[in-house]
Structure 1
Amino acid sequence: MTDAPVRIGLAGYGFGGRYFHAPLLASTPDCEFLGVVTTSPERRKQIAGELGRPAYDSLQELARAGAEAVAISTPAATHIPLAQEALRLGLAVVCDKPFALDAASARETTELAERLGVPLTVYQNRRWDSDFLTLRRLVAEGALGTLTRFESRFERFQPEPGPPAAGGGTLLDFGSHLVDQALVLSGPVERVYAEMRSRDGGEGSEVGLDEDVFVALTHRSGARSHLSGSWRQGAPGPRFRATGTTGTYVVDGVDGQEALLVAGASPASEGERWGIEPEQRWGQVLRGDHAEPAPSARGAWDLFYPAFAAALRGTRPLPVDPWDAVTTATVLDAARTSATTGEVVRLP
């Protein structure tokens, strides 16, 4: 074992790589950020100008440069091939969501990582959203009683161009986060029902790419999760409405960490201010006519890569168990089946 920073590279420099991974890697003392794997001339210019780090032609070249790990943030359809290639090269993997296009591929890759003895985790950064951490605190404290219904939304009004093809559609893109949070909060799922609308083939659109989804989960605990993802919602609902036997937590808007990163801020530049939500963005706990503010926990995306580095050094578990991502993919497969057949799908 060693205390040296983990030598890590990034594969992909699109929106996710550029804004969700590179600034966090560069801000983590526990990681030595080597550079980015890309063959795009445009991306290489951005990397040189924005990061001052080298670009690599392939995962093999990154490995030869001494990398121990790679974060994969490329189009959804390439995640599994790249993750498997990296694992076979001996590179520990952080794979962006959606981990896989289907549960079988997710399971195959997780089993491969176990056979090879190479660490694999999935970048479920929304587990460290301010609002979700706040909700988990309220549930743990008993402030809502027993949780009975969890309503969660990623809704936007951006009908054109709609969901990016790189994300694989709204069910995979938004749904990966929505389902993961529901599973963390309420545990295993028994039944899945879903509705889904796809692109209509209008100008600039991609036919068949789902842009509006609703997924209803019945958990073994008895709790129910109602999850919505949309790119055509002109009146987005609350981010969360979590109802328990003694109260309901409601919060609007979305966690502010994404906006900070897109604006050029980072944990390194913000220091202790990182992830702090202003009071006007706090949610409330409501009990009929009585409402009280629920102070927001600090958003903590900056904890993911230190946790990953610690896992590679053997001092703590991986930040996200890859089998959790297999379970999420299984639920998403069931949702797709339900949306196609109109029937409730029962899981083993």
Structure 2
Amino acid sequence: MTRTRIGLAGYGFGGRIFHAPLIAAADGCELAGVITRSAERRAELAAQHPGVPAYDSLAALAADGVDAVAISTPADTHVPLVLEAIGLGLAVVCDKPFALDEAQGRAAVAAAAAAGTVLTVYQNRRWDSDFLTVRRLVDDGTLGDVSLFESTFERFSPDAGPSPSGAGILRDIGSHLVDQALLLFGPVASVYGELHMRGDLDDRFFAALRHAGGVTTHLSGDWTQGAPAPRFRVRGSAGSYVTWGMDGQEPALIAGRTPAADGAGWGMEPEARWGRLQRGEQGEPVPSERGRWDSFYPAFGAAVRGEGPVPVDPQDAITALTVLDAIRRSATEGRSLEL
């Protein structure tokens, strides 16, 4: 198999934890280099991925013949770096939030299309164990007709800032939650939003979406919530599915585990963390699907080689940005908005 040589722009938390180990472990891919000027980050790279070179710029990375780059840098640099990479002839993975607003995202997608460049967005939470389980239960009719989908990212981290991406929690975490809701229930007809600001950035949000198909979605994000809500609660005519806590792939990566080392055990949730199908006081555990963050980069590598579609259509990110922009405008204007 021809290997797709993928560089990485940025070696902060996101680059070190969410990208580098998964690129290095991906079938058909090679972690070909990392762009970072920080001496500390370069030392970490040498310790964690011996032999992987460090570069000062996208141009230097491209000059060494890489095929693609994954961008994991502060949010306001995403689109400028995407456009630079496209100009250098590189295929691109852009971390979320893909752009700061819909217009900026559309410009990047249009540039990639004009250049014939492969572009995708790193929506890894599509492959969370609990989300894959929700998709299965919705698709196979276990829940009956779904009327309400509640999805939260809530933690108790009192010292946390608004967002590690520098974009506010709505654009950062909300990018995942909106993307998942759109995948499950399709286009959104109306939006209501609330934001809590800390300085110039939001650190808490709530959004209510009414999908064109009739389902209502409630989304919330909060890093300083002392009593986190269920991760998912999905109400259907035949019962409700509820699950608590976050998918285990992130803490596994933080602990130094990788798909290459774990093999078939990667992404498997212990029974104690399975969600439950509830019908009043009667309930039963539901076996969780295997989390598959390890599937993203093999699919991207294949797309770069012309062997399949990108793992996430960038047009999906534009649709999500439209909803995110509407949530922000709704919160500012204090009213629901039709889309």
Give the TM bin, normalised by the shorter chain.
over 0.9
Partner amino acid for 1:194?
Answer: G
User: How far is the alpha carbon of 1:165 from its aligned partner?
Assistant: 4.9
Percent of paired sites with the same residue: 60
Aligned to 1:31: 29
Aligned to 1:8: 6
For residues 55 and 310 of structure 2, the distance between their equivalents in structure 1, rounded to whole angstroms, comes to: 26
Alignment of 1:346 onto 2:338? yes
User: How far is the alpha carbon of 1:166 from its aligned partner?
Assistant: 2.8
Aligned to 1:250: 242
Alignment of 1:287 onto 2:279? yes
What is the DSSP-based 3-state SS (H/G/I as helix, E as strand, rest coil) of the residue aligned with 2:193?
A: strand
For residues 138 and 108 of structure 2, the distance between their equivalents in structure 1, rounded to whole angstroms, comes to: 33
Q: For residues 189-235 of structure 1, give each alpha carbon's deviation from its aligned partner in whole angstroms, at most 9, with x where no partner exists.
A: 01010001011xxxxxxx22211100110000000110000012100
Alignment of 1:108 onto 2:107? yes
Provide the TM-score with structure 2 as the length reference: 0.98
Q: For residues 50-92 of structure 1, give each alpha carbon's deviation from its aligned partner in whole angstroms, at most 9, with x where no partner exists.
A: 2121101111111111111000000111000001100111100
Partner amino acid for 1:58?
Answer: S
Alignment of 1:234 onto 2:226? yes
Given the superposition, is the C-alpha separation of residues 303 and 165 from structure 1 closer, same or farther in structure 2, using an over 3 Å criterion? Answer: closer
Q: How does 1:68-147 map to 2 (within 5 A)?
A: 68-147=67-146
For residues 251 and 24 of structure 1, the distance between their equivalents in structure 2, rounded to whole angstroms, comes to: 26
What is the DSSP-based 3-state SS (H/G/I as helix, E as strand, rest coil) of the residue aligned with 2:94?
A: strand
Where in structure 2 are there 5+ consecutive unaligned residues? none
Aligned to 1:156: 155
Where in structure 1 are there 5+ consecutive unaligned residues? 200-206
Q: For residues 111-152 of structure 1, give each alpha carbon's deviation from its aligned partner in whole angstroms, at most 9, with x where no partner exists.
A: 111110000000000000000000100111100011111100
For residues 231 and 337 of structure 1, the distance between their equivalents in structure 2, rounded to whole angstroms, comes to: 22
Higher deviation after alignment, 219-228 or 313-322: 313-322
Say whether the 8 Å CA contact 1:98–1:167 is kept in structure 2. no
For residues 304 and 161 of structure 1, the distance between their equivalents in structure 2, rounded to whole angstroms, comes to: 28
For residues 10 and 195 of structure 1, the distance between their equivalents in structure 2, rounded to whole angstroms, comes to: 35
Q: How does 1:304-323 map to 2 (within 5 A)?
A: 304-323=296-315
Give the aligned CA root-mean-square deviation in angstroms: 0.9
For residues 311 and 230 of structure 2, the distance between their equivalents in structure 1, rounded to whole angstroms, comes to: 28
Partner amino acid for 2:14?
Answer: G
Q: How does 1:31-70 map to 2 (within 5 A)?
A: 31-52=29-50, 53-70=52-69
Partner amino acid for 2:329?
Answer: T
What is the DSSP-based 3-state SS (H/G/I as helix, E as strand, rest coil) of the residue aligned with 2:241?
A: strand
Aligned to 1:202: none
Say whether the 8 Å CA contact 1:157–1:234 is kept in structure 2. yes
Higher deviation after alignment, 142-151 or 38-47: 38-47
Say whether the 8 Å CA contact 2:163–2:172 is kept in structure 1. no
Alignment of 1:170 onto 2:169? yes
What is the DSSP-based 3-state SS (H/G/I as helix, E as strand, rest coil) of the residue aligned with 1:166?
A: coil
How many residue pairs get matched?
338
Query: Match for 1:19 among 6, 9, 17?
Result: 17
Say whether the 8 Å CA contact 2:194–2:207 is kept in structure 1. yes
What is the DSSP-based 3-state SS (H/G/I as helix, E as strand, rest coil) of the residue aligned with 2:165?
A: helix
What is the DSSP-based 3-state SS (H/G/I as helix, E as strand, rest coil) of the residue aligned with 1:49?
A: helix
User: How far is the alpha carbon of 1:33 from its aligned partner?
Assistant: 1.0
User: How far is the alpha carbon of 1:109 from its aligned partner?
Assistant: 0.4
What is the DSSP-based 3-state SS (H/G/I as helix, E as strand, rest coil) of the residue aligned with 1:195?
A: strand
Partner amino acid for 1:101?
Answer: L
Partner amino acid for 1:225?
Answer: T
Aligned to 1:203: none
What is the DSSP-based 3-state SS (H/G/I as helix, E as strand, rest coil) of the residue aligned with 2:252?
A: helix
Partner amino acid for 1:99?
Answer: F
For residues 338 and 164 of structure 1, the distance between their equivalents in structure 2, rounded to whole angstroms, comes to: 21
Partner amino acid for 1:176?
Answer: S
Query: Match for 2:214 among 200, 207, 222?
Result: 222
Query: Match for 1:334 among 315, 320, 326?
Result: 326
